[in-house]
Amino acid sequence: MTIYAISDLHTDNRENRELVEQISTTEFLNDTLLIAGDISNKLEVIESTLNTLQARFKKLFFVPGNHELWVAKDDDHSIAKFERILALCSRLGIATSPQRVEDVWIVPLFSWYEGDFYPAGNINDSQLEGWSDFHFCQWPDQIDPLSYFLALNRPNIRGYDRPVISFSHFVPRLELIPPPEVLFFKSLPLVSGSNQIEAQLREINSHVHLFGHTHINRDQTIEDVRYVQNALRYPRERKMFGRSNRLRLTQVWPTSS
């Protein structure tokens, strides 16, 4: 059994949807796939994509990202949308809570971001005016999304009797984001994650942590934890950086590290 990682599938895009459909229908039938958020903001696209992947893998794990929690003006708030997504996953048999898979525990961590990532030097936050979450996410009164999601994780923050692979959509530590001077979106660190995610993955003694959101792929070990982002990204981003138009799965277990 091999465990693979992917994030930011964005299958609202036809090219991305076709790449998901091109995954082998036979190669991974004994394997597990971890999906670290941002399939789509549309429930029907989320369901269709999960069904496509479920036919290709033995087991799927998923945590929602920010795009999943976008709501239309006449919809419920983002927490209600989140609960509908968890109910959908439960109906489909997609894991959103810790499960042991052979000799390893897989621990999904729900998350959001706050402005506690402050890179050295000045950061320009003028670009935040156009940040889509501020317009498309709606939160109930007196709900802080990061605190809410971290509290949902709390019952699962404990010791585990096997190695742990954790994953979240959002970034757990600033070192996993390039410095602002090389970023096109200079404000990215302020809407990427939180040190509190890092605190939770350290409490469960995670060996590997998968994340997404920034679309900046990484495979880096910091203080004995391997951090992986393997984002499919938008078609325009793959073209911009000269990446081949294909979906690559990153193996996160077994690991030689």
- CATH code (residue 211): 3.60.21
| Helix and strand counts by DSSP (H, E) for the chain | 7, 10
Segment holding 226, helix H or strand E? strand 225-229
201 CB burial (10 A radius; 0-12, 13-18, 19+): buried
Q: How far is CA 46 from CA 35, 51, 106, 176, 246, in A?
A: 11, 9, 21, 27, 20
Residue 72: what pLDDT?
Answer: 82
Asked if the model's pLDDT at residue 30 lies above 90, the reply is yes
Q: How far apart are CA 72 and CA 57, in angstroms?
A: 32
Model confidence over 179-216: pLDDT tens digits?
888 888 888 999 999 999 999 999 999 999 999 999 99
pTM: 0.95
Segment holding 92, helix H or strand E? helix 78-92
Model confidence over 98-151: pLDDT tens digits?
999 999 999 999 999 998 887 766 666 777 888 999 999 999 999 999 999 999
Can you give the residue range of the structural domain that contains 145? 3-253
Total structural domains within the chain: 1
Average pLDDT, the chain: 94
Residue 255: what pLDDT?
Answer: 78
Residue 123: what pLDDT?
Answer: 67
Share of the chain above pLDDT 70, in %: 95
